[in-house]
Amino acid sequence: MPKQEIIISKDLKQDVEGAIARCQHDRLFVLTDSTTLRLCWPLVSAFPCFKSAQMITIGDTDENKTLDSLSSVWTALQKGGATRHSLLVNLGGGMVTDLGGFAASTFKRGMAYINIPTTLLSQVDASVGGKTGINFGGLKNEIGVFNQATSVILSSEFLRSLDMKNILSGYAEMLKHGLISDEQSLAELLRFDLEELDFAELGRLVSKSVGIKERIVEEDPTEKGIRKALNLGHTAGHALESMALEKGRPVLHGYAVAWGLIGELYLSVVKCDFPKERLRQTVQFIKLHYGDPLLDCKQYERLYEFMKHDKKNEGDSINFTLLGNVGDIRINQQATKDEIFEMLDFLREG
Ligand code: GLY
């Protein structure tokens, strides 16, 4: 899989113009969602490169990450005369970059695409690393392919329109990157003042965070081994996210990941000797900013069921990524049902 170019933008106009010019194309399409069209498209719409672009807009929440939306994008590309030599620019959050990446990867067996992620979550995670796809049959990201964008352009200009919940949602993935990387990266994330946001400093932390993900993806683009490090917090996190959705009280992905990190760091202490002091510091930070998942013991069986159906599992066992220390990654770890319930107890009471 060719390596994608990650551009930490200092000059959005110059960087977008440059990336589009470098990717030769006959026609240009821009995919966005209704909210991004209103809040972010005005920041780039006057750029000369977009003068002849054809716009495609889809609905703006994860419920729109469907086969129907995908089909509407394929139809718009077809009607707009797209060829295998056309270029799709995905402007938006993870829903747009995932769905748009999949639409581009499959249209006429694949055309090039560029991601311009506009949320913190998509900047530090979804837009980087070539995972594309849609939700299907009630399961998230069930259908998709690995195929990297030609370029990913990251600009902190877009982050200014985000509310605090969406900043926190992305920040959870940054915490995960710190935990799988090194003590210093984790310490600066735990020190960062989320009450008084310094966007320049946030931009620096984003760039460092993406660098951590980029190195892992480069080593293992299709998640056969070390890329599983990026699943830290996600086995428990996805279960919490799915259960919240089922109860009609959805939570943002990053909130579920933050709580999933608490659970899986606890498992790391029990099974891999992760230092208790690092667990304490991380739990304190997460509880302060993300609150509690408000669990009830009656929900444990359902959460366990969700974990059993996680697509990261192999065979019948539930697969976790755990840590022996900050940066000491232990992939393919299994836990018994009792250990998992103990983890949920910690998450509930901890
Ligand atoms: N979101 C985790 C990964 O890209 O592998």
CATH number of 186's domain: 1.20.1090.10
Mutational pocket test of ligand 1: of 121, 123, 131, the residue with most ligand atoms within 8 Å of the beta carbon: 131
Whole-number Å distance between alpha carbons of 26 and 77: 13
Whole-number Å distance between alpha carbons of 331 and 183: 19
Nearest CA to ligand 1 atom 3: 230
- pTM, whole model, 2 decimals? 0.94
**Counting every residue, how long is the chain?**
350
**pLDDT score for 210:** 97
Same domain, 247 and 286: yes
Domain count within the chain = 2
Same domain, 102 and 197: no
Same domain, 172 and 128: no
**Cβ of 230 below 6 Å from ligand 1:** yes
Ligand 1 centre to CA of 77 (Å) is 27
Whole-number Å distance between alpha carbons of 185 and 327: 10
CB 235 within 8 A of CB 331: no
Mutational pocket test of ligand 1: of 1, 121, 125, 140, the residue with most ligand atoms within 8 Å of the beta carbon: 125
Same domain, 224 and 267: yes
**pLDDT score for 350:** 67
Instruction: Name the residue range of residue 281's domain.
Output: 164-349
**pLDDT score for 62:** 85
Which amino acid is it at 160? R
* 3-state SS, residue 253: helix
Tokens matching residue 327: 């940066």
Question: Which residues in the chain come in under a pLDDT of 70?
Answer: 1-2, 350
Same domain, 44 and 99: yes
Q: How far is CA 175 from CA 129, 205, 339, 342, in A?
A: 18, 10, 24, 23
Whole-number Å distance between alpha carbons of 343 and 271: 11
Same domain, 175 and 139: no
Ligand 1 centre to CA of 221 (Å) is 10
**pLDDT score for 309:** 84
**Cβ of 227 below 6 Å from ligand 1:** yes
Same domain, 97 and 236: no
Same domain, 144 and 20: yes
Tokens matching residue 81: 């005369």
Ligand 1 centre to CA of 124 (Å) is 10
Same domain, 216 and 134: no
The burial of 206, by beta-carbon neighbours within 10 Å (0-12 exposed, 13-18 middle, 19 or more buried), is given as buried
Chosen domain end from 141, 161, 181: 161
